[in-house]
């Protein structure tokens, strides 16, 4: 099989984006985001949020360290030569659990004036997160599950995984470049090494032999640079590497037009999935009592 290069498309309308990509579960790379490029350079970020304590990870989603963003940038940005293994990665999520922590909420509040949600994304009919009073939901100001500031020195990577609870993801690129490899949901078995009981883990590491190429041909591959966004629909497995020092913002959502698998998840697969607690947290944060998967399903889809 030969992998197809994903050509960036110009920013479509949200109706077109929902119909052509969200409803059909098709990945896309979109160019033409409206953002303030000068506010996202490493130097500018050191001034705006460098004093805040960031969450530092390895190549997947296990927290390894905390460090101010300024320390991280000073230590890791500017590496040259061959891509180095084990470069740490700042994934600075807004609060998604009931624990005190250096969550990214304060950093998101400070950078809110520097970007806008890409115009192609819908602003209503979300199933996740639940919008307050059914109002539109804006990832610039509102918390979404796994909304994170991603600061990745060259060589830092997100190993092959699949995002949690059948949610879709976007990654908006503001500085530097990343390479993305995408594998269809039907290939999950082929790409599973061993099930480790988490949503993210247990997949083959396609860059274990060499960082600059993937060892299993993806269905789609592309690169994302400043002002571009990648859309990763639910179920698609993906591997991402920063080939330049990189700054992005990501978040996950479920839209009513792409919610079929999410409904199935609530009907069974949530059971034993530690990520289900994140969904419950988002409902609780709106003042609702602890909801079961059945409650959440009937809230969104009526009685299943």
Ligand X SMILES: O=C(O)CCC(=O)C(=O)O
Binding positions for Fe ion, rule: CB under 5 A: 163
Counting Cα atoms < 13 Å in the Cβ hemisphere of 243 gives: 14
Cβ nearer to ligand X, comparing 59 with 137: 59
Q: CA 220 to CA 218: how far, in whole Å?
A: 5
Cβ nearer to Fe ion, comparing 44 with 262: 262
> Any idea what DSSP says for residue 192?
B
Restricted to residues 154-173, the positions that interact with ligand X (CB under 6 A) are: 158, 163, 169, 171
Burial class (CB in 10 A: 0-12, 13-18, 19+), 22: buried
Binding flag, residue 28, ligand X (CB under 6 A): no
Cβ nearer to Fe ion, comparing 163 with 228: 163
| 8 A C-beta contact, residue 111 and residue 168 | no
Binding flag, residue 59, ligand X (CB under 6 A): no
- Strand blocks (E) in 6-154: 9-10, 28-31, 53-57, 63-68, 89-93, 126-128, 148-152
Cβ nearer to ligand X, comparing 67 with 248: 248
Cβ nearer to Fe ion, comparing 25 with 39: 25
Query: Smallest distance from the beta carbon of 189 to ligand X, in angstroms?
Result: 20
- C-alpha distances in Å from residue 185, one per residue of 222, 232, 235: 18, 11, 5
Q: Give alpha helix (H) positions in the chain.
A: 14-17, 42-49, 69-76, 105-111, 260-264, 276-284, 293-301
Site string for ligand X, 231-270 (x = CB under 6 A): -------x-x-------x-x--------------------
Counting residues that bind ligand X (by CB under 6 A) gives 10
Binding flag, residue 150, ligand X (CB under 6 A): yes
Query: Smallest distance from the beta carbon of 157 to ligand X, in angstroms?
Result: 7
* SS3 state at 139: coil
Cβ nearer to ligand X, comparing 72 with 297: 72
Q: How many residues does the chain have?
A: 304
Site for ligand X, rule CB under 6 A: 150, 158, 163, 169, 171, 178, 238, 240, 248, 250
């Amino acid at each position: 099989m030969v992998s197809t290069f994903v050509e960036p498309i110009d920013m479509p309308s949200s109706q077109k984006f929902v119909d052509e990509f969200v409803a059909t579960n098709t990945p896309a790379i979109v160019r033409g985001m409206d953002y303030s490029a000068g506010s996202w350079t490493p130097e500018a970020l050191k001034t705006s949020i460098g004093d805040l304590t960031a969450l530092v990870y390895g190549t997947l989603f296990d927290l390894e360290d905390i460090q101010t963003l300024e320390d991280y940038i000073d230590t890791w940005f500017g590496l040259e030569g061959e891509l180095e293994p084990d470069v740490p990665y700042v994934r600075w999520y807004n609060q998604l659990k009931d624990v005190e922590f250096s969550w990214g909420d304060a950093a998101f509040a400070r950078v809110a004036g520097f970007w806008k949600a890409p115009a192609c994304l819908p602003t209503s009919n979300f199933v996740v997160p639940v919008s307050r009073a059914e109002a539109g939901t804006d990832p610039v100001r509102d918390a979404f599950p796994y909304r994170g500031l991603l600061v990745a020195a060259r060589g830092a990577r997100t190993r092959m995984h699949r995002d949690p609870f059948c949610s879709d993801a976007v990654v908006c690129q503001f500085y530097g470049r990343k390479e993305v490899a995408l594998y269809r949901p039907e290939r999950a078995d082929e790409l599973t090494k061993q099930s480790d009981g988490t949503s993210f883990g247990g997949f083959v590491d396609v860059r274990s032999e060499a960082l600059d190429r993937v060892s299993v041909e993806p269905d789609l591959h592309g690169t994302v640079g400043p002002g571009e966004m990648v859309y990763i629909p639910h179920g698609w497995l993906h591997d991402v590497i920063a080939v330049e020092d990189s700054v992005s913002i990501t978040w996950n959502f479920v839209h009513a037009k792409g919610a079929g698998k999410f409904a199935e998840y609530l009907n069974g697969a949530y059971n034993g999935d530690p990520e289900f607690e994140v969904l419950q947290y988002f409902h609780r944060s709106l003042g609702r009592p602890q909801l079961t998967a059945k409650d959440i399903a009937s809230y969104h889809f009526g009685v299943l």
